Amino acid sequence: MMYPEMRLRRLRRTAALRAMARETRLHPAQFIAPAFVVPGSGIRQPIEAMPGVDRVSVDRLVEDAKALAGLGVGGLLLFGLPPTKDAVGSGAWAEDGPVPTALRALKQADTGLVLFADVCMCEYTDHGHCGVIEGGHVSNDATLPLLARTAVAYAQAGADVVAPSDMMDGRVAAIREALDENALADTPILAYAAKYASAFYGPFREAAGSTPQFGDRRGYQMDPSNVREAMREIELDLNEGADAIMVKPALSYLDVIRAARERTEAPLAAYNVSGEYSMVKAAAAAGMLDEPRVVLEILTSIRRAGADWILTYHAADAARWLAEGRIA
Ligand code: PBG
């Protein structure tokens, strides 16, 4: 059948028909809001490059978590800013560090949010790299036990899911083994499987104080040009025991999300990263874009590409707009 018998506009005529024909829906239960935790109390410091996102102390974080849960947001992803840094990043696993302290407080507050803890060394090392430096390079194998130790500390403090973002080879297996040995066999791993060496992380590095002091991350994060390699990363991480996998960033990598979706049945997350957020906020502040519509369109495109979960700094706003019945 063809035009004039076939007319695709028929199902677009009214809002009710369009709602019936809609193929992709956003639900805040699949949003995960990142948060930056600092030591102390009563602290809420705005992050200049990310309007609307703050660094917060644990007491303020608990308030934010309650608000997110009230909006129906599914999860919270914690990043910590430690009081001091050293060469090996020992602040990452310190029991009284910002992330374990926050996890214990959030558990006690019982918000119902799924608590994800990002596992990486870069916020905790004085050189800003995601692992231990040996001979001027990030040593893969020397970093694995530190990541495993950190993941165990977070799971013991109350993380529902640990999420390694370091891109060392073999880290999922090392973390799985350490969790299992410590009676944490029920703690899932969300692996940042296909994480690219991206300039879109710029604002995050300001937020987390994790800019490398020399060189860059191209020796461990992926080349933006590659998609077949992403499939190998995903396969390796799943074979090592990852329960869910991630593609990061999201917006310039929708093809990678689609390819991953077609390759695996495992839950697939996509990280709508800091630079993607900052671009929208800057354009909206300049009056160049309709922020709610653009944000919902971006999140819809990430879901349409095949992601189940979306890590996004827009989580609370998007949940609010969806509750108002807004669509992309
Ligand atoms: C830590 C980490 C980074 C991000 C998440 N985990 C920074 C990096 O790899 O440099 C970026 C998140 C964002 O940009 O929103 N390794």
User: Of all protein residues, whose CA lies closest to atom 11 belonging to ligand 1?
Assistant: 201
Residues 125 and 85: beta-carbon distance below 8 Å? yes
Q: What is the separation, in whole angstroms, between the first and last Cα of the chain?
A: 31
Q: Is the CB of 165 under 6 A from ligand 1?
A: yes
Can you read off the two tokens belonging to residue 280?
Answer: 């929208």
The pTM for the full model equals 0.98
Coil vs helix vs strand at 309 = strand
Report the distance separating Cα 151 and Cα 147, nearest Å.
6
Q: Where are the domains of the chain?
A: 24-323
**Residue where the block lists tokens 């430096």:** 133
In percent, the amount of the chain with pLDDT more than 90 equals 99
> pLDDT tens-digit profile of 201-259?
999 999 999 999 999 999 999 999 999 999 999 999 999 999 999 999 999 999 999 99
User: What is the distance in A from the centroid of ligand 1 to the CA of 200?
Assistant: 9
| Six-digit token string for 191 | 């692996």
pLDDT of residue 126: 96
Residues carrying an active site annotation: 195, 248
- Name the band, by pLDDT with cuts 50, 70 and 90, for residue 43: very high
pLDDT interval class at 85 (50, 70, 90):
very high
- Domain boundaries 24-323, corresponding CATH code: 3.20.20.70
Residue 36: strand pairing partners: 55, 79
